[in-house]
Amino acid sequence: MSVRHFILVTATVLAAAGCSGDEAQPSHGPSPVSEGGRVDVGGYELAWRCVGDGTPTVVLDAGLDTAGSTEWSELLPQLASLHTRVCTYDRAGTGTSDPRPAGEAPTAASQASELRELLEGAHIAPPYVLVPHSYAGLVARVYADRYPDDVAGFVFEDVSTAWEIDLWRRWDDSPWIDGGQRTDIQETERQVLRAAPLGARPTVVVSQDTYSEEGIPGWAGPIFARQQARLASLGKDVVHVRAEGSGHWIHRDRPDVMVSAIRVVVEAVRAGTALPGCADAFARASAAT
C-alpha cells in the first residue's frame, strides 16, 4: 500500500503529539517580507501576493469561485514560522483579477497554464509546494502533470477529485462556475483522469470528517471519504490526515492541522527526505511553531 500513514486528528491525538490548535499561532518576530502585483496572462491580468522568503515556495490556491487573496488571509500570518515564501493569487474573475475574456470555457489545464504564466511573470521561482483547496485540487493535479519539474510536494485540503464529478450530478446538476464563468468540467474530468500519479513527492492529504455541508446527502459522505483515500493512494510518500471536527473549510475550522501539514512537507522537501511517521510529523511540526 503506497499510503505510508493515516491518522485521525482528534483533540486527544493532537494533545498527545504536542500539536494543539492553541500552539499554531502567528509568529511574533519581525513582519515577513510582503509583496504583490499583477501579471498579464494573455490579455488579462491576475493579482498575486507573497509573504516571507525562502524555498520551497508554498502556493495556496482557493476553491471554486473564491479569491485566494481574501480566503487565505487569516492563514498567511500563521505560516510565517515556516521561514519560506508563501504565495496566493486570484484566479480570473475572482477577487481583484480581471475576468477571463468570453469564449472557450476554462478547464483545469487552461487554469494551470494561467497559474504558470503568473508565477513566471511574477518571478516566483520553483520548486513549489502546491496547497489547493476543493476545486483547486483539479488544477493542481493537471499543473503537476504538465509541469512536473516545478512541483516538489503537495498538501491537498479536502480537494475535489475527478471521480466525484459525475457523482455530483446525482443530486446537483448545476454548472461549476469559477470567476463568474462556466467551466468545462467534463473536459477537466478527462484531463485529471489522464494526469500522472503523485509520484514520490512528499504529500499530505487532509480530509474533513463531517461531510455535513448543506446540500450533500448522507449517502455521499462515505463515498467522498473513500475518494480522499484513493487520492492518497496515488503517491509513494503520503500521509493521509482526517481533521476531526472540521468541515470542508479545514483552513478555517482547523488551521492548526493545515499549518502542521504544510510544515512537514516543506521540511521534507528542504531535506530531500521522505515524510516521517504521521504522529511524529505532527509532533515535530507543532514543536517548531
Where exactly are the structural domains of the chain? 3-287
- CA neighbor of 259 nearest in space, from 9, 82, 137: 82
Q: How far is CA 10 from the centre of its chain?
A: 21
pLDDT of 208-226, one tens digit each?
987 766 667 777 788 888 9
Q: What residues form DSSP beta bridges with 50?
A: 35, 87
**CA distances from residue 136 to 113, 156, 186 in whole angstroms, order as listed:** 13, 9, 15
- pLDDT over 60 at 10, yes or no: no
pLDDT in the model for residue 210 = 76
| Mean pLDDT across 197-201 | 98
* HSE value, Cβ hemisphere, 13 Å, CA-based, for 4: 18
CATH placement of domain 3-287: 3.40.50.1820
Supply angle C-alpha 202, 194, 274, rounded to 5. Answer: 10
**178 is written with which cell numbers?**
469559477
Task: Compute the average pLDDT of residues 249-254.
Answer: 95
Average pLDDT over residues 123-141: 97
- Predicted TM-score (pTM) of the model is 0.88
User: What is the chain's mean pLDDT, rounded?
Assistant: 86
pLDDT band at 25 (very low <50, low <70, confident <90, very high): very low
Q: How confident is the model at residue 286 (pLDDT cuts 50, 70, 90)?
A: low
All cell numbers assigned to 244? 476531526
Q: Which of 29-43, 217-231, 237-251 has the lowest mean pLDDT?
A: 29-43
42-89 per-position pLDDT tens digit: 999 999 999 999 999 999 999 999 999 999 999 998 998 899 999 999
| Number of CB atoms found within 10 A of residue 108's CB | 30
